Amino acid sequence: MEQFRTVGVIGRMGSVKVVETLRRLKQFLIANGMHVVLEETTATVLPGHNLQVSSIKMMGEIADLVIVVGGDGSLLGAAREMAKFNIPILGVNRGKLGFLTDISPDGLERGIEEVLEGRYVEEKRFLMDAFVRRDGEPVGFGSALNDVVLHPGKSTRMIEFELFVEGQFVYGQKSDGLIVSTPTGSTAYALSAGGPIMHPRLDAVVLVPMFPHTLSSRPIVVDGKAEIKIQIGDENGIYPQVSCDGQKHIAAAPGDTVTIRKKPHKLRLIHPTNHDFYATCREKLGWASSLTMLH
């Protein structure tokens, strides 16, 4: 296990609880001899901190470990930035669900101490790149840990598009759009659209149609290495959007092509040693924990 010396800290803005947890985390890390680097926006909520401050990009170059205090959305943003630096990320949950940020504030010091001592499990999660092209020229780019979504934006009209996987035509569809999700994102937006839950270690991508204008359309799981292409129909009366993790939005137009493929860099996600994917599903999704609960 790695020995961490320089720890980057990123916190979600706009939450008193996050600030409280950031203060505890800062004190604990310093007491344990860590060199702490605060992300520049996070540093503004900790006046008088006397710590090094950096941009997220610079943090990727100097930190051994990055700790994110917030919800899954906060970790998604950090993951897209940190994956290329091969730096492990640990999440402290101050959000709602917490599929990715799995250290609880109540067990903050104990959980962080275990990680600093080398007692943790590490997962590799792959990300996707999305390219939007118009007449063969690039007009937008984004990365996603959870999902890339083609959707109508503010319009309520359906989108007509054609789907190709590895150059092979799959179908033409008229729907509210398409969710292209990694296993990490299968418990997020794709789940609410009727997609399957995929174990994080799977090398696969799921394609989930959104309210298709047919009764026979179902989610499709394809190889994680497959190139996915969505051809937006020329006759569409709307200008749809391509959203990456619901945080990066690219304006598309009729006739545009959206190409999605696996990113070359993977996220190194750290969990406490007692991490259990199925236990997380039971807790977050309300699955029964025993047969007695079913009666």
At 257, the amino acid letter reads T
Is 72 annotated to bind ligand?
yes
CB neighbour list of residue 144: distance below 8 Å, 6 or more residues apart: 80, 127, 128, 130, 182, 185, 244, 245, 248
The DSSP bridge partners found for residue 174 are 160
Is 22 annotated to bind ligand?
no
Label the pairing between strands 257-271 and 121-134.
antiparallel
Is 175 annotated to bind ligand?
no
Is 146 annotated to bind ligand?
yes
Is 188 annotated to bind ligand?
yes
Q: Is residue 223 among the annotated active site residues?
A: no
**CA 55 – CA 36 distance, rounded (Å):** 13
Is 251 annotated to bind ligand?
no
Cα separations (Å) of 141 from 198, 263, 285? 26, 12, 32
Is 203 annotated to bind ligand?
no
H or E stretch at 171 = strand 168-175
CB neighbour list of residue 15: distance below 8 Å, 6 or more residues apart: 70, 94
Is 157 annotated to bind ligand?
yes
Our CA dihedral for 57, 62, 64, 66, rounded to 10 degrees, sits at -30
Indicate the DSSP class of residue 2: P
Is 174 annotated to bind ligand?
yes
- With tokens 């917030």, the residue in question is 70
Is 102 annotated to bind ligand?
no
Among residues 64, 72, 102, 256, the one annotated as catalytic is 72
Is 187 annotated to bind ligand?
yes
Is 189 annotated to bind ligand?
yes
User: Which residue numbers belong to the known binding site for NAD(+)?
Assistant: 72-73, 146-147, 157, 174, 176, 187-192, 247
Which residues are known catalytic residues? 72
Binding site members: 72-73, 146-147, 157, 174, 176, 187-192, 247
